[in-house]
Amino acid sequence: MSAKFYTLSAKNIDGTQTSLEEWQGKVVLIVNVASRCGFTNQYEGLEALQKKYADKGFSVLGFPCNQFGAQEPGTEDEIKSFCETTFGVSFPLFSKVDVNGSDTHPVYEYLKEELPGALGTKAIKWNFTKFLIDKEGNPIKRYAPQDKPADLEKDIAKLL
């Protein structure tokens, strides 16, 4: 049920354990991000969504991940600095996580269980896979890495 999402927590990029309960009542887009990926320019679109809808109860949550082609090799400080200076990212970023394998972060364990990918596969295929969560904490839709943030706008607006 929806409340499960809010029982999860993750370390933010500054190392502080943060409960997802902080986003209760908001529409959330969770994205596994990387600084050296072909999709890295999606930070721009993610930030545009954040700016446009933040005051309406929306937030992007970025989870850096180095599991795909080692495209997020930096430290938390380097990642944060890159995102802020290159793309003006204002949405919350978290410490690096694994989204697949034996060390999969609990947030991603939950999301993959609730919203499997194509043909029921649970594995995250690449950076910038996106999960849309409604105001009650229900995972609503999983998007592929190639889905541009602007293409999600209609779904986000509908949930707000």
Active site residue 65: no
Which position among 37, 60, 97, 156 bears the catalytic label?
A: 37
Q: In whole numbers, what is the pLDDT of the chain averaged over residues?
A: 95
CA geometry: angle at 17 spanning 40 and 85, to 5°? 30
Q: Which of 32-41, 65-74, 119-128, 145-154 has the lowest mean pLDDT?
A: 119-128
CB-based contacts of 43, cutoff 8 Å, min separation 6: 33, 83, 86, 87, 89
> H/E element holding 56?
none
Range of the domain at 152: 3-159
Query: Would you place residue 118 in the very low, low, confident or very high pLDDT band (cuts 50, 70, 90)?
Result: confident
pLDDT tens profile 122-149: 999 999 999 999 999 999 999 999 999 9
Q: What is the CATH number of the domain that holds 32?
A: 3.40.30.10
- If phi > 0 it is left, if psi is from -120 to 50 it is alpha, else beta; for residue 31 that is beta
Please report, rounded to a whole number, the percentage of residues in the chain having pLDDT higher than 70: 98
Q: Exposure pattern of 25-47 as b/e (b: 16+ CB <10 Å)?
A: ebbbbbbbbbbebebbebbebbb
| Count: domains in the chain | 1
pLDDT tens profile 2-15: 479 999 999 999 99
d(CA 101, CA 89): 28
